[in-house]
Structure formats: C-alpha cells, structure tokens
Structure 1
Amino acid sequence: MARMIRKSLDEPEETRPFEDGKGRLDLVHLEAGGVGRAVFEPGWQWSKHVKPIAQTDSCQASHAGYVLSGKIKIVMDDGEENEFGAGDYMSVPPGHDAWVVGDEQCVVLDWQGYVDYAKRQD
C-alpha cells in the first residue's frame, strides 16, 4: 500500500550554495527524483555563479518548474529566449544560460532538473 510522504523545503535534506553568495538550492529527495527550491539573488547568472560548479558550457539540466517570486530570463544556446515571472510555469530543455531580472530575488520550484543542479564535480 502506498504511503503519504511529507518533506519540507524549509528543512531541506541538502543545500547547495551558489558562487559568491548569490543564492542556493534547497533539495528534498524522493524515490522518483528530487524536488528543489532555488533562491536566485539579484545579480545571479548561471554562467557566473553555477558554471564554475557544473563545469559545462551551459546549463545541461531540463527544468519543469514554477516561479514563486521575481523574474528570470533564460536564453537557449540557439538564441531562443523567454522571461518567466511569479505565477509562471516553465519547461526548459538543456542548453541555456539564465539570470535574474531586476532587484528582487527569484524563487523557483523545480521537480525535474535540480537533482544534479549546482552539484560539485569531483
């Protein structure tokens, strides 16, 4: 019989800080993968604050997420771009850069792409 699961992103099982204190990723682990809440501070950019951790030319995670607050701009390697804000669902394939738009934190819940996101490579 299936059982209910309760986990809280306010008490994450793992936290991964971004470079230069520009935010963090809080994760809870589930059998089907992880669910994460990323807090991107104003001035955060993937290519500056996660690329040194990921060691890839662009973000190679697929994202299925929901923006809780703030705004984020995403530019695909092929030049396609979009901006997502509070209340928006986003589906983003691998191969992109991203950055916070404006002076407000951008907070994103993601249930697809955060399992290996900002994970230090050994």
Structure 2
Amino acid sequence: MSSLVRKSLDSPDETRKFEAGAGQLQLVEATTGGVGRATFQPGWRWSEHVKPIAKTDSCQTAHVGYVLSGRMKVVMEDGEEMEYGPGDFASMAPGHDAWTLGDEPCVFLDWNGYSNYAKA
C-alpha cells in the first residue's frame, strides 16, 4: 500500500443527499477514516433533514471539524448551545440538534464523524 494518498472532495468516493434537498455530504475514505464536506442549505435542520435518515432522536455522531463558510447553531440535549461561523474549529459530542443560521449555506469540513453520518 502506498504511503501517500490524494483524494478530492470535488470528486468524492460517495455523496449523500439530505432530505428535501436541504444539502449534501461529500465523503472521501482514507485509511484513518472518512473525511467529509457537508453543505447545509439555508433552512437545514438536523431534526428535519437527517433525523428521518438516522432514525435517532438526536445526532449521535461526534464531530471534529472546521467551518468553511456560513453559520450553524448547535444545541445539546442538556441545553448547552453554541454558534459556529467561518474559521471556527468545532468539536461536538453526540446528542445534539443543529441548524443553519441566515441565508447562506453552511459548509463544514469534518475529519471525525462523517463515515456513518446521514447513512440509512
């Protein structure tokens, strides 16, 4: 196996669409796990557009990533909440809902939690 790998999120290994055209996840698989770029359209909300796919009450994926553009609000099951925007590093534990803020898509790069995200 080669010690160097190059893949592009512009030509992903897999693309997963969210409900109602609310966005998509572009995923590349590496030996260390999946890396993904999700585009959450204005009006996207996890509990409306991914919950029907995941079939859990809240997002049960841990995320570690970076906001490339747009804004997102995340609320944990215990009520803790935070907003993220361009240039923010984000770490989110399982057990949350999230939604896009404003009228610009939120683009989020995640190198931890997207291998099974929005997967039926």
Q: Distance in 2 between matches of 1:72 and 1:98?
A: 7
Superposition misfits of 4+ residues, deviation over 3 angstroms:
none
- In structure 1, the partner of 2:104 is 104
Q: 2-side partners of 1:119 and 1:13: how far apart?
A: 14
Deviation sequence 1:43-95 (CA, Å, 0-9, x none) = 00000000000000000000000000000000000000000000000000000
Secondary structure at the counterpart of residue 90 of structure 2: strand
State the TM-score, normalized to the length of structure 2: 0.98
Distance of 1:119 and 1:55 partners within structure 2: 10
Q: Equivalent residue for 1:26?
A: 26
**TM-score under structure 1 length normalisation:** 0.96
Aligned residue for 1:13?
13
How many correspondences in the alignment?
120
In structure 2, what is the equivalent of residue 87 of structure 1? 87
Distance 2:88 2:94 in 1: 19
Seq. identity, %: 65
- SS in structure 2 at match of 1:37: strand
Q: Which runs of 5+ in 2 are unaligned?
A: none
What residue identity is the alignment partner of 2:68? Answer: L
Gaps of 5+ in 1: none
> Over aligned residues, Cα RMSD in angstroms?
1.0
